[in-house]
Structure 1
Amino acid sequence: MGSGRSKATTIAATAALLLAGTAIPASASEYLTLRSSSWSYVDSAAPKTAFVNPAGDAPIGAKVTADHKKHVTKSYFTFDLSNLRGATVLDARLTTGETAVADCTAPRGTELRVTAPAKKAPTWADQPRELGALSGRSDPAGCPAEYVGWDAEPQLQQAIDAGRTALTLVLRLPDEQQYDPRFGRTYRPVLSVSMQKNQPPTTPANLKTGQHACADAPLVQRGGAAMTARTSDPDDYSFSAEFAWWPVDHPDRRATGIDSYVNGTEAYYDPDAQLADGVTYAWQVRAKDSLATSAWSETCRFTTDFSAPATAPAVTSTDYVYEVPGKGGIGIPGDFTLDAGGDTQIVGFQWQAGYTDSGYVAADRPGGTATVRYTPRSDGPMSMSARGVDAAGNSGPSGDYRFFVARNGPSMTCTPARAFLGETRQCTFGPHGTDGATEYVYKIDDGAETTLPAGPEGTATITVTPTDVTKSYDVSVRARMTNGNLSGPGGGRLDVDRGLPVIDVPAGTMVGKPAVFTLHATLPGSVSFTYDWDGGEPVTIPVGPDGTAQVTIVPETPYSHWLNAHTTTAAGLVSATEETYVSVATNGPVVTSTDFPSCCQGGYVTTPGTFTFSSPLPGVVSYAYSLYGGESGTVPAGPDGTASVALTPLTTSTQYLTVTSTFADGSVSRPGYYSFSPKSAAPPLACDLTGGARPGQVVHCTLTPVQPGLASYGYRLTANGETGPDVAVRPGTDGTGTFEFTAPATETRMRLSLYAWSANAAGQRTDTSYTSFSVDPDARAARPGVRAV
């Protein structure tokens, strides 16, 4: 009894893990619960009646009813085993539950026995033969017991092995208790089997060598012997297939390979690397899980051929030749002959023409010829290549043939040849040469294709009235030739005069000055101009009787501008847009200076220079000027409209001068700009040292004059980044300035920097000269010399 409870506990625990999603090790087996598919009972009080799937619980044993009639019963339960064909039962526990007990003090003696197969439902008078009883019954303490179980593994396995698709069991009391009402009981009307089972994979079927069915026994090229088969496993998602192959005349050289896969149904193995050329092989396959193996499949065969043909086919054609302009055309088929040159290994040809057309054609005999009828899809130079193919599909070297396809697009003639937008023209399509035409397929730009039947002469005419200035009016047309194919493209672009207006730009266009532009219409029937200045708000004005109109514009800014204009007819046709570039001169003043020219370096820093202002327009009363970082002011204009000012640059940096003109009406011009670069006036500096100085050494220096109007010199020392005071130096009679200083007394090495300048009587300093020395306590006595900057 104890062992039965242990098995039930194990199965219940495993089922709970599966339901909870807890991972368990991969296994070939499957856990499942199988429920009885039908039930019935027999009653001694109705010996010839079968009670099949009745309502209520399943009775067993004796019971006396109110009419003092005694009923002795057994209950039968049938399981459907059709899905367990070939299974191995690893564990099985059959359970049910009591629903009523006549006397809980009476010991439980319930039995579960297998019955012989029966063709009809049992009755008391016709009961099926009872076979072995299930063992391992569990007897829980509860009464009625919620679960009563038996070991079912042997009985299930015996039924499956016998090939039975159904199993019937009888629930009953032993003979010594069956007729005593004290032992009577009822059970739930269903039995359940919690089981672990394994079924072997199916025997592989649908075997193929490459793309060939097993019965084909194909000849295969290198890489063409991949073996596939379909198989499955009823209760395992992970299993493998074992392939075996061997030379037919050497079965002792059997080799094997494994394909392991998950959730798959097609097994695959490619033995290519282990195959020899010119050998006939046999192969078969079986499927395996970790517990069982299927039977071997049927046996297939294939023969290897790994040697490609050695001959490059010759390709020739009389319909299409290499000479220009060539023959045929798009849509005109031609014959091409492929010749294997007697190489009997070649049984067919793989050919390709252009980039898109290819195919296979069989030779008339091994080593013979074949004809490809090819219809070109494009004109101009083309080529066709062909490779010889043997019976296994091996292809040899390529033979190439170059040819030229003539253009055969239909012609198009339009009357008139050129016309304005909105004017109608007739365009006639004609066939190319003797190709003929039954109809034409044409489209204009990206519009839909239209089919037009050809007339008796093979021509057709369309009427076109271009109205949209944005369209190209490209006509593309192909003829349906008398052979039923479409020709190459023909047609062309309609020559449309889009009525581009003409714009006259006046000379001397200037900021702030009214400029009159004359617009000329060219599109017949134009009634208005629409123009814009630099893409601004469009303005529409009428076209005059002479086809022109004038537009007055006062430019607000100088330099590059655009005037755009188109015309519109009374019928609403819009012409092309003329986009005219307009260069606008500035009305700002012009600045000149001979002292400080803009082209190159001028006078010295701190030296005044004369700057002259002039205007391209009359009526100037004054000029306002500003030197960036320096002087600014206003100067009146002279009778000739010019003015001059003296400006003094104080640095060698590039100087920027901005000037505006003020006119008699109070208006102010655009700015005029002028830049210049003064020369340095820094005095050259020379000192009597060529190297470092010793602490306390006296250093003598000389400054040479450069600055016009020089009045004084100055210098300062900077020691280790600490700046000393400015020191003035009086010029001598020759204009030079001399001074001396004593190197600091120091016990450590230091750097001494010297800056020097000159100044005029107004105190305006020049830019500086610079030199530096090292002061070194360990230095030898400095050699006399001169250091100049």
Structure 2
Amino acid sequence: MSAASGTPTTPTQLFNGNQSCSTDETTPTYLWARAGLTVMGIPGSPESTDNGPVTVRYQVWPITDPTRITTVSRDHAALGFEATAVFPADAFTDGQTYAWQAQMVAGGTASDWSAECYVTIDNTAPSKPPTISSSNYPDNDDWNQGGEAVQVTLDANGVDDVAGFEFSWTGDFPVIGASIGAYGVPHFEDPYENSKYFKRADTLGGSATLNLIPPRGAGVLTLWVRSLDRAYAASARTSYTFLVKSTAPKVTPAKPAPAFGERTTFTLEPDPAVQATSQVVSYSVRTTGGQSDKTITVKASANGTAKVTLPLDGAYGNSLDVKSTSKNGWVSDSGWWGTSFDTTATVSSDVYTEYESSGGVGVPGTFTFAPKVKGVASYTYSFNGDPEVTVKAGAHHEARINWSPSQNGYYYLEVYATTWDGIQLVPCDYIFFVN
């Protein structure tokens, strides 16, 4: 209400279906209204000193018959906040255009009516799914060379009110809607501004051309698509499946069989066809099996190759998973390199031979621990699950212990080595029998 006169003010910020009101009869907002049509407007100002609440009255009519008016009200509306009301579904006929407006009522006095908002009711979704074709990735049984963006043409398939298309590599489609801001004001998000999932048709009932980078660089790939009319109602979905052969880079270590503990340089080379299509600019390198696994990005040279130096410090082994990224955004499938290490200690005894019966109760024996890899600093051992004991390695990275059994029968000795870098290596079991 006006603070000066107490006269109700005409509602502002008018919305229908959470979209802004169109005051141009030639460009109405197309809306789905099978469950009714939600409208809203803001009465007055939240700073008003008048006592609320107030009523916001809405009326709607077909533009072909202005006398056929339907009226709804939102009672107890708060000043300065969107006041929502719903016109019933039976007030509308599919395909017709309607005008609606709003006014504020307070203390028995009504404001002027707002400007007219225009909507066209579209309760019929597109009757057929779109057609899909690709000029460079045909949907046959042949394996296509990857590296180039997928050129896709979507067509309305003869449905004349298709305004655009929604597409997805997973078959899941995002929800079209609005976020609600301060004072209940909706902020409709135009789906066609999201080029990851939506594309407007070149004309109503027309087609659209896309250049898409698929979510992975090889394999059986499927694009799911559905048509959208002007009210954003969707057709049934359809799909387009095509095959892409591997585009993985080559991963080569400086030495064919690098040893545990070595820092090794790897050469990364692009798939030749990928490089010829669009220059490889970087690689994503993911390490597994090591002490500090991570994913790093390595910049490629002009010819698409790159080098990366990594420690091979996995007690069981190390592997690399490498993907290339091209200038056009293409991400390849994974090139893989891996190796395994035997980092267990070698255990021997002068008395108690492995897998044999020997010695006796109280008979001392010497056990020798020797490394299979470089850099061993100590050994940790336990007989039959007793508390662990750690001994330092000697000058030749070996260690010796003296031990006497307290009873006869089955024994197992578990031993593992630890490097100077603190890496615990793989344990081994040494099994023997005491006479």
- Could you tell me the TM-score, scaled by structure 1's length? 0.44
| Alignment equivalent of 2:83, drawn from 267, 278, 285 | 267
| Alignment equivalent of 2:307, drawn from 441, 461, 471 | 461
Q: 1:332·1:376 contact (CA, 8 Å) conserved in 2?
A: no
Q: What SS does the aligned partner of 2:240 have? A: strand
Quote how far apart the aligned CAs of 1:430 are. Answer: 0.6
Code of the aligned partner of 2:312: P
For 1:257 and 1:583, locate their aligned partners in 2 and report how far apart those are by CA, in whole Å. Answer: 92
Percent identical residues: 22
For 2:408 and 2:23, locate their aligned partners in 1 and report how far apart those are by CA, in whole Å. Answer: 91
Corresponding residue of 2:215: 377
Corresponding residue of 2:182: none
Corresponding residue of 2:189: none
For 1:313 and 1:422, locate their aligned partners in 2 and report how far apart those are by CA, in whole Å. Answer: 57
Quote how far apart the aligned CAs of 1:302 are. Answer: 1.6
Q: What SS does the aligned partner of 2:168 have? A: strand
Q: Deviations over 1:385-438 (max 9, x none)?
A: 222333333332222211223332211011333333223433211111322234
Matches within 5 A, 1:192-271: 200-210=7-17, 211-217=19-25, 218-223=28-33, 225-232=37-44, 234=48, 235-261=50-76, 263=78, 265-271=81-87
Corresponding residue of 1:522: 372
Q: 2:56·2:77 contact (CA, 8 Å) conserved in 1?
A: no
Give the length in aligned residue pairs.
387
Q: Deviations over 1:686-711 (max 9, x none)?
A: xxxxxxxxxxxxxxxxxxxxxxxxxx
**Greater relative contact order, per chain length (Cα 8 Å cut-off, separation 6+):** 2
Q: What SS does the aligned partner of 1:434 have? A: helix
For 1:225 and 1:520, locate their aligned partners in 2 and report how far apart those are by CA, in whole Å. Answer: 82
Q: 2:355·2:433 contact (CA, 8 Å) conserved in 1?
A: no
Matches within 5 A, 1:323-722: 326-329=143-146, 332-354=148-170, 358-378=196-216, 379-436=218-275, 437-445=280-288, 446-447=293-294, 449-454=296-301, 456=303, 458-467=304-313, 469=315, 473-481=318-326, 483-503=327-347, 505=354, 507-508=356-357, 516=365, 517-524=367-374, 526=376, 528-533=378-383, 534=385, 536-542=387-393, 549=400, 551-554=402-405, 563-568=413-418, 572=421, 574=423, 576-580=425-429
Corresponding residue of 2:179: none
Q: What SS does the aligned partner of 1:395 have? A: coil
Code of the aligned partner of 1:348: G
Q: 2:171·2:223 contact (CA, 8 Å) conserved in 1?
A: no
Q: 1:523·1:567 contact (CA, 8 Å) conserved in 2?
A: no
Q: 2:31·2:119 contact (CA, 8 Å) conserved in 1?
A: no
Corresponding residue of 2:5: 86
For 1:438 and 1:402, locate their aligned partners in 2 and report how far apart those are by CA, in whole Å. Answer: 28
Corresponding residue of 2:191: none
Alpha-carbon spacing, 1:452–1:208, altered in 2? closer, same or farther (3 Å)? closer
Quote how far apart the aligned CAs of 1:243 are. Answer: 1.0
Corresponding residue of 1:673: none
Code of the aligned partner of 1:440: Y
Give the gaps of 5 or more residues in structure 1. 1-27, 29-82, 88-199, 586-616, 618-789
For 2:376 and 2:355, locate their aligned partners in 1 and report how far apart those are by CA, in whole Å. Answer: 24
Q: 1:566·1:574 contact (CA, 8 Å) conserved in 2?
A: no
Code of the aligned partner of 2:168: Q
Code of the aligned partner of 1:469: A
Alpha-carbon spacing, 1:528–1:279, altered in 2? closer, same or farther (3 Å)? closer
Quote how far apart the aligned CAs of 1:488 are. Answer: 2.0
Quote how far apart the aligned CAs of 1:333 are. Answer: 0.9
For 1:339 and 1:365, locate their aligned partners in 2 and report how far apart those are by CA, in whole Å. Answer: 11
In terms of Rg, which structure is larger?
1
For 1:521 and 1:325, locate their aligned partners in 2 and report how far apart those are by CA, in whole Å. Answer: 52
For 1:441 and 1:334, locate their aligned partners in 2 and report how far apart those are by CA, in whole Å. Answer: 22
Q: 2:220·2:241 contact (CA, 8 Å) conserved in 1?
A: yes
Q: 1:511·1:558 contact (CA, 8 Å) conserved in 2?
A: no
Code of the aligned partner of 1:374: L
Alpha-carbon spacing, 1:344–1:295, altered in 2? closer, same or farther (3 Å)? closer
- Could you tell me the TM-score, scaled by structure 2's length? 0.75
For 1:359 and 1:546, locate their aligned partners in 2 and report how far apart those are by CA, in whole Å. Answer: 61
| Alignment equivalent of 2:112, drawn from 295, 301, 322 | 295
Q: 1:409·1:487 contact (CA, 8 Å) conserved in 2?
A: no
